[in-house]
Amino acid sequence: MTRAKYSNIFYGYLFLLPYLILFCAFILLPLIYGLGLSLFQWEVLSNAPPRFIGLGNYREALGETYFWKALGATLRFVAMIVPSVVFGALLIALALNALPEKSGGFFKAAIFAPTIISISVAGILWRWFFSAEFGLFNAWLAPLGVKVPWITENRWAMKSVVLMTVWWTLGGPMVVLLAGLKQIPEQYYEAASIDGAGAMRRFFHITLPLLKPVLLFVIVMNIIGSFQVFGQTFMITRGGPELSTRVLVQYIYETAFASYRLGYGSAMSWLLFIVIAVFSILQFRLVRERE
């Protein structure tokens, strides 16, 4: 090897160095550290030194009602939000795609706009909308004599959070799906029309099969993201009423940063990670088997 080549390699690693330092310090190390922590009993408030307990934290979580309740709340949220967002986003993307070329920019921007609002602002706003007494929604419903306990009753609270989340997050999937629709060659539709295929047939035989990879990507990303829901419930319902909307990330947050049980919190976050991984793998498997 020539000297110049050695110096190139040296400079190359120099270019990588700043990023690698940050990557090791704030991603790789925390990953290993967190896994290690999950095997220790470490309760900062009790002043006791961390104690190795093997899988004790995991066993505790799996045997505890609060963990299952939080996992249940998370699953309920995921089960409601993913179909709502994906279906809504697909419907709007299809409508936008049916407009003449180069139009619809305003509609797209308007529907995307809520995604750039901070969750604390969005949360405050919707908490006010949902408020039973002074709330906007109940003020609008008052002439009908209806008063909805949006966030004060168990059977409504999670649905209200889902409603708000549809508004807040629909824009991203919509834009991705629209880009996917635009990639489908126009000729396919023309050929199908000449053959006398109606709108329904064209949708099920051209649009849906060709959109499938993008649609799958959107669904998987949405599931992964939805499992990590936190801000909405933290701001709007605070996990209530009766912990019916306390999702896993909120429970982990409270365990680690309010009760300072760091080992237990780490173990629960790994459990959440496992749940997410299992769901993503299952999803890809299912799709592959059908093909």
Partner 1 sequence: MKKIRLRLIQFFLLAAAVVFLTPIALIFLTSLKPDSEIIHFSGIFPRQWTLDNFREIFDTPEEIPIFRWLLNSVFISSAVTFLILLVNSMAAYALARLELPGRRGLFVVIIATLMIPGQILMIPVYLIINKLGLLNTPWALIIPAGAGAFGVFLLHQFFLGIPRSLEDAAIVDGCSIFGVYRHIVLPLSKPALSTLGIFTFLGSWNDFLSPLIFLDSVDKFTLPVGVALFQTSYAAEYGLTLAACVVCTAPALLAFVFFQRHIIKGIALTGLKE
Respond yes or no on whether the N-terminal peptide bond of residue 241 is cis (omega within 30° of 0).
yes
Residue with tokens 């009790």: 46
Contacts 24+ apart (CB under 8 A), 64-70: 66/243, 66/251, 67/251, 67/268, 67/271, 69/243, 69/246, 70/243, 70/246, 70/247, 70/248, 70/250, 70/251
Shortest spacing between CB 286 and partner 1, in angstroms: 18
The answer to whether residues 264 and 60 touch, using CB atoms and an 8 Å cutoff, is yes
The token duo for 261 is 């049980």
Taking each helix axis from N to C end, the angle separating 208-227 and 65-98, rounded to the nearest 10 degrees, works out to 150
Residue placing its CB nearer to partner 1 in the complex, 9 or 62? 9
Residue placing its CB nearer to partner 1 in the complex, 2 or 155? 2
The answer to whether residues 268 and 257 touch, using CB atoms and an 8 Å cutoff, is no
Shortest spacing between CB 89 and partner 1, in angstroms: 11
Residue placing its CB nearer to partner 1 in the complex, 155 or 168? 168
Residue placing its CB nearer to partner 1 in the complex, 101 or 155? 101
The alpha carbon of 39 is separated from its chain's Cα centroid by a whole number of angstroms, namely 27
**3-state SS class at 41:** strand
- Measured CA to CA, the distance from residue 137 to residue 147 in angstroms comes to 9
Shortest spacing between CB 120 and partner 1, in angstroms: 4
Shortest spacing between CB 243 and partner 1, in angstroms: 19
Residue placing its CB nearer to partner 1 in the complex, 22 or 208? 22
- Measured CA to CA, the distance from residue 93 to residue 108 in angstroms comes to 9
The contacts of residue 266 (CB under 8 Å, 6+ apart) are 34, 35, 37, 38, 57, 256
Shortest spacing between CB 174 and partner 1, in angstroms: 9
Shortest spacing between CB 93 and partner 1, in angstroms: 11
Residue placing its CB nearer to partner 1 in the complex, 54 or 100? 100
Shortest spacing between CB 163 and partner 1, in angstroms: 11
Residue placing its CB nearer to partner 1 in the complex, 27 or 200? 27
